[in-house]
Structure 1
Amino acid sequence: MRKLWGLLAVSALCSFMAPGLAEAQSTKTAKIGILLPLTGPFAAVAETQKQGALLAVDVINKRGGLDMPEGKTMLEGVVDDDEAKLDVGVRRYRYLVDQGVKGVGGQTWAPLAYAINALVSRDPKPYFPVCVQAKEAFTKGKIAPATFAAAYSPWTVGYMAGTQAVKTLGKKKIFFLARSDSWGWDIRDGVEAAAKQYGAEIVGRDEAPLGTTDFTTILQKVKAAKPDVFIAAQFAADSVALLKQVQQMGLNKEMTIFNAFITNVVAKGLPPEALAGVYAMHYFYYDLAGFPDQEVAKQAAEFTKLFRDKYGYPPDAYAAIAYIAYMEMFRGFEQSKSWDAAKVTAALMANNGKFDSVKGPAAWREDHQAAFKYGAFLVKGKGPGEQKNEWDLFSVEGSMGGEEILPPLKSLGY
């Protein structure tokens, strides 16, 4: 009898434990590709993108994973280095696919994003570039059905910068400095479109290749042209070099300086004297405490806390781009209950493509650009005595967003 009771007890214990065991066994893991130039000229920005992507993975895993037909599915971020080289990036993208990743995001260098988009067109895979891509990439027939870009094209960057300089700041005479590639030329076209629309004059133009360190000759031309505003397309290390020389030559005392697109990484590379009074468009600035839309300010603060808790400092713009992109990838998986690229695409485009983000409401357009209510924030650099702490870099002066900041779909062939 004692032996029988023992067997019954063991049986009851096994029955009691079975659901838990079954639940544990049903938890799967899905690999997610994170491909970025972690070495090379874009490494500092790529690091912030990687952080945003991995934070998105953490957020999903902390809530128990994705709810998929095969059961709760945890995510594993598989990180690789594309080195901002076409051959290396394509090879490592293919390696990630061979490893069984369910989707891929990444790229800081737009030409590589364009190349991977071409691969995705031929062999569909959910792909979420986290860089600012060339306008041409969004034309009908070129953007892959499964590619979704959480940032816009440089044309939009230029259009916003030009509009804010003319319409908001009241400037009428513009000197524009491009970078000698699609980034700079697209920004130039956007600035010129805004100038034409709002009645400003381009009084001077020039361009400089990526990696320029000495802008002295160009800045002498800017000084001689006597513009109201100097708008520059330079980014990352080029921005730091340019803005330092602008301040050293005293141009910031003669005209308004407007760096078209900026990040905290750039601002941190400048002495406060060189940052002071510089205007720019910022995809996401972590401190929106005084922003009129307090709901968006709350969303930004919640994201900033998540990021600070993990990394010890506030998120930069490209961290936000990556976080938004990966969270949308994961929403696509869960909404479609599938890893299939076509089904994920259909799920994201449902309900007119609407989604919410850490910087407010947005919607996927037909060209798979995200149209945000707040596409970017107009910021003004803080100088000596204004910065309350090491990350108090800008004051938020305004914003732009909606369909109006994106190229009309008709102009892209839709």
Structure 2
Amino acid sequence: MYIRTKLMIGMLAALPALAMAQETQVVKIGFSSPLTGPQASAGNDNKGGLEMAIDKLNAQGLVIGGKKIKFEAVMEDDQGDPKSGVGVAQKLSDMHVKAIVGPYNSGVTIPASRVYNDAGIVMGTVASNPKITQQGFANVFRVAASDSQLGGKMALYAAKELKLKTVAVIDDRTAYGQGLAEEFSKVAKANGIKIVSNDYTNDKATDFTAILTSIKSKKPDAIFYGGYSPQGGPMTRQMKQLGLNNMLLLGGDGICAPEMGRLGGDAITDQVYCTQGGAMLDKLSEGKVFSAEYQKRFNRPAETYAASFYDGMMVIAAAMKAANSVEPKVYISALSKIQYKGVAGEYSFDAKHDLKESPVTVFRFKGGLPVALTSY
């Protein structure tokens, strides 16, 4: 009897420690992208990447700070609009999320980043305008290529591989499109390409006939478009209607998606080139696995930034684990020094929190889909 009683007392004493070891902490992660409107396809692509990362992390049963961690995403639709994006940022900051994966658009990210930074929340964004990391915000990290890399590499490829001599430039006046076009023009000029015209539209436009008619008279080898697929698709269709079939269309990651083919139809031929941050997924074992899992889960291919949103979450979780804390003020030091191999490439950050190395892949459309040509 004495032995049994002593054993029961010992078991009861161990219960609090056992309960503590099994305690689960819910860690909320914010997500900001356009889930409605013209860019909804890109936003839902991003959402799928984050969902896959969170499910994989939760299946691992991570223990951080002595607690089992369960990540939960708070998905917010910023509509690709700066004002809405700031509203989302204020909402997520008030919820005290432990990190933000997003936003997608540079025009949203620039004003929203101040809100997140002031709230002490770490943000991992794919938005590419160089100004984002030039603000000097300690909590802001870029987990994809910048405009200088995306626009610059497209210009280098245009000069050295396509041997173009003249290019007309159009941008949509968003922070993303304008920044991308400026970087393309700068590097293009430095490599012997003449910019014959600079024209502007907006990210709600559908008719580009006047701009294209003006460009047609200048007979450039190509048009570079700084903007997104919802305008890029119709623009290419109108190029065909005006007899500009043999003129190349170049762009960045904003048009590097199957949505171009859906919106541009048979006008989206091998005359369309684009760049996207990251290595060629189909050349990497992790990339092949990710693409197959994404297709199986969502019954659609991963598009431009699904892999980067996946990696962004994984990098943040790795920093939390290294710091043994989910609190941004604690794990930010580990994130700043991290070296992580993800699906889309290697992740380590420079002093501005840009990626130290960000390969850029050049794509050419075939059958309405972007097909990787080379990492450049």
TM-score (norm 1): 0.81
Name the structure 2 match of 1:56: 53
Matched ranges for 1:196-345 at <5 A: 196-253=189-246, 255-261=247-253, 262-283=256-277, 288=282, 291=283, 297-345=284-332
Offset, 1:286: 7.1
Equivalent position SS for 2:348: strand
- 1:31 to 2:23 alignment: no
Offset, 1:346: 1.4
Name the structure 1 match of 2:106: 110
Alpha-carbon distance in 1 for matches of 2:350, 2:261: 32
Alpha-carbon distance in 2 for matches of 1:79, 1:185: 28
Equivalent position SS for 2:351: coil
Equivalent position SS for 1:148: strand
Equivalent position SS for 2:374: strand
Structure 2: gaps of 5 or more residues? none
Offset, 1:281: 1.0
- 1:191 to 2:184 alignment: yes
- 1:130 to 2:123 alignment: no
Name the structure 2 match of 1:152: 145
Contact 1:117/1:143, CA 8 A, preserved across alignment: no
- 1:69 to 2:74 alignment: no
Give the superposed CA RMSD. 3.0
Name the structure 2 match of 1:173: 166
Equivalent position SS for 2:362: strand
CA 1:135–1:83 in 2, change beyond 3 Å: closer, same or farther? Answer: same
Name the structure 1 match of 2:375: 399
Alpha-carbon distance in 1 for matches of 2:273, 2:375: 12
Structure 1: gaps of 5 or more residues? 292-296, 388-392, 401-414
Deviations 1:57-110 (A, max 9, x none): 111011113x31122212111222333444543343333333332112222332
Alpha-carbon distance in 1 for matches of 2:231, 2:257: 12
Q: 2:76 aligns with which of 73, 80, 98?
A: 80
Matched ranges for 1:340-351 at <5 A: 340-350=327-337
Offset, 1:242: 0.6
Aligned length: 374
- Report the identity percentage: 23
- 1:42 to 2:42 alignment: no
Alpha-carbon distance in 2 for matches of 1:206, 1:361: 36
Contact 2:122/2:328, CA 8 A, preserved across alignment: yes
> Counterpart of 2:371 in structure 1: which amino acid?
S
Offset, 1:309: 3.1
Offset, 1:13: 12
> Counterpart of 2:152 in structure 1: which amino acid?
Y
Alpha-carbon distance in 2 for matches of 1:127, 1:18: 39
Deviations 1:310-340 (A, max 9, x none): 2122211121221122111111211111233
Contact 1:176/1:204, CA 8 A, preserved across alignment: yes
Offset, 1:50: 1.1
CA 1:40–1:395 in 2, change beyond 3 Å: closer, same or farther? Answer: closer
Alpha-carbon distance in 2 for matches of 1:145, 1:275: 43
Contact 1:145/1:342, CA 8 A, preserved across alignment: no
> Counterpart of 1:145 in structure 2: which amino acid?
A
Contact 1:286/1:304, CA 8 A, preserved across alignment: no
Contact 2:166/2:196, CA 8 A, preserved across alignment: yes
Alpha-carbon distance in 2 for matches of 1:89, 1:218: 30
Deviations 1:115-160 (A, max 9, x none): 221123323111122333x322222xx2311111112333432212
Contact 2:32/2:100, CA 8 A, preserved across alignment: yes
Alpha-carbon distance in 2 for matches of 1:228, 1:53: 39
Alpha-carbon distance in 2 for matches of 1:345, 1:285: 26
- 1:357 to 2:349 alignment: no
Matched ranges for 1:352-391 at <5 A: 353-374=338-359, 376-383=360-367
Alpha-carbon distance in 2 for matches of 1:111, 1:121: 16
Alpha-carbon distance in 1 for matches of 2:197, 2:91: 47
Contact 1:355/1:362, CA 8 A, preserved across alignment: yes
Contact 2:21/2:66, CA 8 A, preserved across alignment: no
> Counterpart of 1:259 in structure 2: which amino acid?
G
Name the structure 2 match of 1:294: none
Equivalent position SS for 1:143: coil
Alpha-carbon distance in 2 for matches of 1:269, 1:263: 11
Offset, 1:223: 1.9
Larger mean Cα displacement after TM superposition, 90-99 or 212-221: 90-99
Equivalent position SS for 1:220: helix
Larger mean Cα displacement after TM superposition, 51-60 or 257-266: 257-266
Equivalent position SS for 2:142: coil
TM-score (norm 2): 0.88
Larger mean Cα displacement after TM superposition, 229-238 or 114-123: 114-123
> Counterpart of 1:135 in structure 2: which amino acid?
P
> Counterpart of 2:313 in structure 1: which amino acid?
Y
Offset, 1:380: 1.0
Larger mean Cα displacement after TM superposition, 212-221 or 86-95: 86-95
> Counterpart of 2:252 in structure 1: which amino acid?
A
Contact 2:273/2:363, CA 8 A, preserved across alignment: yes
Offset, 1:234: 2.8
